[in-house]
Amino acid sequence: MATPTKIMVIRHGEKPTVKHMPPFGVDSDGNQDWHSLIVAGWQRAGALMKLFDPNGECLPKLAVPGLIYASGFRNSGTNGETADSSDSRRPVETITPLAARLGITPNQDFSKGDEKDLTRSVMQQSGIVLICWQHEAINDIANNLVEGAKTTSPIPPPPWPGDRFDVIWVFTPPASLSDPWGFDQVPQCLLAGDANTVIG
């Protein structure tokens, strides 16, 4: 039975905070878009490509993903003035440079609210998996993965801090039902202002 050897979860890159006020979200063509990353988020997306560089050395506890999931964009049909997170293009934008470098087509079959189905799909895969998601639901992903099992270190309770875009949660499935899940946090330390601390 297939099972992943490592599951890494990241939040998408930096986003706009107030509509119609800088810093603006911009799409890959530079057009202003509330649902896209701001410039710092695009910089993080590029830096993540180097962080998971298959030709370099990943940080300890990280590995080059063989499969990438990103929260899918689901147009709600609104005029763009509502904050439906399913409209967010940021998770896909965040992993696009890395996916292109690795030659991986990201799985976008799931969006925010589909965390149970997402984790069910992830647990049917083999190898190393990277998930990029909205921060409000990362704890839901974590809880669905471990399903109440013990972990080698505590998973921080929600909410994920709104100002943290710079942490990777790393899960290692247990070798047996009696073993705990491995859980680690890895600070990205990619951009100026990134913290070298984990989420408490």
Q: What is the pLDDT, as a whole number, of residue 75?
A: 64
- Across the chain, mean pLDDT equals 93
CB atoms near residue 44 (< 10 Å): 26
Q: What is the pLDDT, as a whole number, of residue 76?
A: 55
Out of 13-17, 49-53, 108-112, 194-198, pick the least confident: 49-53
Question: Nearest CA to 182 among 153, 140, 157, 156?
Answer: 153
Which tens digit of pLDDT belongs to each residue from 27-59? 999 999 999 999 999 999 999 999 998 887 788
Q: In angstroms, rounded to a whole number, what is the distance separating the alpha carbons of residues 129 and 127?
A: 7
Q: What is the pLDDT, as a whole number, of residue 87?
A: 83
Structure-token pair, residue 142 = 């974590």
Q: What's the predicted TM-score (pTM) here? A: 0.94
Question: Nearest CA to 135 among 180, 165, 115, 171?
Answer: 165
Phi, psi of 115 (to 5 degrees): -60, -35
Domain ranges of the chain: 4-187
Question: Nearest CA to 12 among 98, 93, 106, 84?
Answer: 93
Q: What is the pLDDT, as a whole number, of residue 83?
A: 43
Q: What is the pLDDT, as a whole number, of residue 78?
A: 45
Band of pLDDT at residue 1, cut at 50, 70 and 90: low
Which tens digit of pLDDT belongs to each residue from 115-160? 999 999 999 999 999 999 999 999 999 999 999 999 999 999 999 9
pLDDT more than 90, % of the chain:
86
Average pLDDT over residues 79-103: 80
- CATH class, domain 4-187, is alpha beta
Q: In angstroms, rounded to a whole number, what is the distance separating the alpha carbons of residues 12 and 58?
A: 19
Q: In angstroms, rounded to a whole number, what is the distance separating the alpha carbons of residues 53 and 157?
A: 31
Q: What is the pLDDT, as a whole number, of residue 80?
A: 43
The answer to whether residues 199 and 185 touch, using CB atoms and an 8 Å cutoff, is: yes
Structure-token pair, residue 105 = 């087509």
Average pLDDT over residues 165-188: 96
DSSP structural state of residue 56: S
Q: In angstroms, rounded to a whole number, what is the distance separating the alpha carbons of residues 147 and 184?
A: 17
Q: In angstroms, rounded to a whole number, what is the distance separating the alpha carbons of residues 161 and 134?
A: 12
Q: What is the pLDDT, as a whole number, of residue 84?
A: 43
Map tokens 């799985």 to a residue: 107
Question: Nearest CA to 173 among 137, 125, 108, 118?
Answer: 125
